[in-house]
Amino acid sequence: MRAGETAASEDPKERILSAAGEVFAERGFEAATVRDICLAAGVNVAAVNYYFGDKQKLYNETVRQAHQRLVAQVPLSPWPEGTPARAKLRDFIGNVLERMLGFGRPRWQTRLMLREVLQPTDACRDLVEDYILPQFQLLISILGDLADGHLEEPQLRQVAMSIIGQMFIYRAAGDVVGMLLPADEMQSLHTPVPLADHITHYALAALGLASPLTSSEPRA
């Protein structure tokens, strides 16, 4: 009866992982129930223990898989040689924002990662080493190119953290951000593309590589 299903996968293990991703991301480990996950996956409650052992192991596996898929679908250095550093910066920021806030890809993957960042469990160390740290180092290297020897590593890291913070708040505290801003502005200025422009310009101006935000001259 493989014509009966609409969009569900054949393999029950896959279906459970996918449903678990959504439920864990939405409600967190504690509040998510095995029964809800199994209902969403269309399998019996016993299936979780049959395939994964227990709820904790299912969670670990869900995080591991979500994290590996994220790593796989994010190329680390997509630029042809000779690309100007400021173009790389703009691209980097745009990509991260698109991944964090955009509507491509299932939302629950990054939401699950966010939960780990906000309140790390055992699964977090791998996530940082495989996914976050490489991106952080890429940003540092771009900033190093931009500063051209005028900034020490510690200062580069400070600037990098500033840039990440500016993106992070929209993902982590989006609801409250929405309460602080006019609704129309939220949709026009605080979405991936204009935000990427702003954060990039803000950084370049602070580094003396673009005109200050207060002037209307073209960028240096």
Under rule CB under 8 A, residue 124 binds a second copy: yes
49 vs 188, which CB is nearer to DNA? Answer: 49
- Do the beta carbons of residue 112 and residue 62 sit within 8 Å? yes
Q: Which is nearer to DNA, 55 or 107 (CB)?
A: 55
Q: Does the protein bind a second copy through residue 193 (CB under 8 A)?
A: no
Question: Which of 149-187 are b and which e, b meaning 16 or more Cβ less than 10 Å from the residue's Cβ?
Answer: eebeeeebbebbeebbebbeebbeeeeeeeeeeeeeebe
Q: Is residue 32 part of the contact set for DNA (CB under 7 A)?
A: yes
Is 56 among the residues that bind DNA (CB under 7 A)?
Answer: yes
Q: Catalog residues that contact a second copy under the rule CB under 8 A.
A: 28, 30-31, 117-118, 120, 124-125, 128, 132-133, 136, 147-148, 150-151, 154-155, 157-159, 161-162, 164-170, 172-173, 175-177, 179-181, 185, 189-190, 195, 198-199, 202-203, 205-209, 211-215
Q: Catalog residues that contact DNA under the rule CB under 7 A.
A: 12, 32-35, 43-50, 54-56
